[in-house]
Amino acid sequence: MTQAYRNLPSVERLLQTAEVQALTASLPREVVTDLVRGQIDEARAAIGNGADAPTAEALAAAVVESAETFTRLRPQGVINATGVIIHTNLGRAPLSAAALAAVRRVAEGYSDLEYDLPAGERGSRRVHAETLLTQLTGAEAALVVNNNAAAVLLALATVASGWEVIVSRGEAVEIGGGFRVPDVLAQSGATLVEVGTTNRTYAADFERAITEDTAAILSVHASNFKVVGFTSTPSIAELAHVAYPRYLPLLHDLGSGCLLDTAAYGMAHEPMPQESIAAGAALALFSGDKLLGGPQCGIAVGSRKIIERMAAHPLARAFRVDKLSLAALTATLMHYIKGEAADTVPVWAMISTTMEDLQERAINWSHTLGHRGEVVSGQSTVGGGSLPGETLPTCLLALDAASVPGGTPELARRLRTGATPVVARVQDDRVLLDPRTVSVDDDPALLQTVAAALKG
């Protein structure tokens, strides 16, 4: 083993090789030296585990490969073949062509982000999305911030810091990714008052909990779990009847900003911000990149008085939305205004894809791959904290991993690390590809990665 260590080429020797020298044309010398050291360290660790010393040529090739990984643009684009439409780990909602064009226009030059063109003076970034949001939801006013977690925190800090907020025990939950209702309340400076039981809470429970110190009622949509059986939750309208006569704002965290009715697509009805406002919520709070199908952002719509106070709160500056997201959001909202969202907003186009289309695509994939898989029926899901337990029937290509040494896990790994990474669903020891979440434009790249992964 000691001999193997001695056989390792030195950093200097590797730096002299033609391949590594070539890297210094496009990368600083210190970066290349670090990459070389990294590969020598790895080789040393491998020797510790019983391997032989690699040749200088092999190490140089490894350095070149590590330079390719190092310089790759990140986050990388991937093909989502999981059938989970809003996949938080894969970046949630893809944007429409119009939203992408809007981002580009604003990113490559200057814009009237905070400039009033007719007046020739300073303007507000709030104006761009506000009229679209009020038009779509029926609310008096709107404010866009960095994400929904920020919208909820800002709303609570604005109306309830130093006061009590009443929440149903069944809704004092963790939504995922570090969003825990009790923690968010604590951060806002408000005190959580839990009422009811985990499975059943009534409007009367809220009524009884109201004291002189109550500042608001908070309702949180159970977006990523489902309590089934003996359950009861007051509706937004019932809570509004409790809150309104006592001048208490009712805040509704909807999670997904669903502006179209999911029931029209054969799924359960996901609450919509326009319904919350109509039912008497003072604020409806939701994400931009879940069922709304836009960029990451958080949206608050509702009472002008509260929205203005939120906008003036010091946290509003810390949470403010950036110009690229704002441009993508207004372009996305315009699809809803024009009544074309179901076809043009990618998440809705995926939801509304017909079974015939899905079947045709899965069969085409199978043909192109030389029948290395079986077309089977299965289920897609909405995901991303929307409609837990709800599924959409789909057609899948189940790949045959028999020819791949290592079988299903190895095939799935090869897909993930392919020229264009493909994230598949692994279920019952099968690699499944769902055409619902794969853009038709990505078919050639998908098939290239899959064909390469299936090779011996």
Residues making contact with ligand PLP (CB under 6 A): 147-149, 175, 179, 220-221, 223, 253, 255, 287, 298, 385
Q: Report the 10 Å Cβ neighbour count for 369.
A: 17
d(CA 178, CA 172): 13
Smallest gap from residue 433 Cβ to ligand PLP (A): 27
Smallest gap from residue 224 Cβ to ligand PLP (A): 6
For residue 398, what are the contacts with CB-CB under 8 A and spacing of at least 6?
373, 374, 375, 376, 430, 431, 432
d(CA 284, CA 276): 6
Smallest gap from residue 281 Cβ to ligand PLP (A): 14
C-alpha separations of 126 from 55, 76, 99, 143 in Å: 61, 32, 18, 7
Smallest gap from residue 420 Cβ to ligand PLP (A): 27
Handedness of CA 143, 146, 152, 154 (dihedral sign): negative
d(CA 214, CA 250): 11
Phi, psi (degrees; rounded to nearest 5) at 166: -95, 130
d(CA 286, CA 279): 16
For residue 406, what are the contacts with CB-CB under 8 A and spacing of at least 6?
413
CB nearest ligand PLP: which residue? 255
Smallest gap from residue 64 Cβ to ligand PLP (A): 39
Smallest gap from residue 165 Cβ to ligand PLP (A): 15
386 versus 437: smaller Cβ distance to ligand PLP: 386
290 versus 436: smaller Cβ distance to ligand PLP: 290
15 versus 175: smaller Cβ distance to ligand PLP: 175
325 versus 344: smaller Cβ distance to ligand PLP: 325
Handedness of CA 275, 276, 277, 278 (dihedral sign): positive
DSSP-derived secondary structure letter, 275: H
**Distance of alpha carbon 428 from the chain centroid:** 26
295 versus 378: smaller Cβ distance to ligand PLP: 295
d(CA 322, CA 114): 11
223 versus 332: smaller Cβ distance to ligand PLP: 223
321 versus 349: smaller Cβ distance to ligand PLP: 321
231 versus 353: smaller Cβ distance to ligand PLP: 231
* Residue from 311, 313, 314, 347 nearest 130 by CA: 311
Q: List residues bridging with 145 in a β-sheet.
A: 298, 320
Smallest gap from residue 271 Cβ to ligand PLP (A): 10
- Locus of tokens 């990523």: 224
For residue 16, what are the contacts with CB-CB under 8 A and spacing of at least 6?
none
180 versus 309: smaller Cβ distance to ligand PLP: 180
Smallest gap from residue 305 Cβ to ligand PLP (A): 23
Smallest gap from residue 225 Cβ to ligand PLP (A): 10
Smallest gap from residue 276 Cβ to ligand PLP (A): 12
C-alpha separations of 366 from 200, 234, 395 in Å: 49, 49, 12
Residue by residue, DSSP assigns 52-86 as: PPPPHHHHHHHHHHHHHHHHS-SSPP-EE-SSBSS
299 versus 404: smaller Cβ distance to ligand PLP: 299
Residue 452 tokens read as 């390469």
143 versus 445: smaller Cβ distance to ligand PLP: 143
Smallest gap from residue 184 Cβ to ligand PLP (A): 8
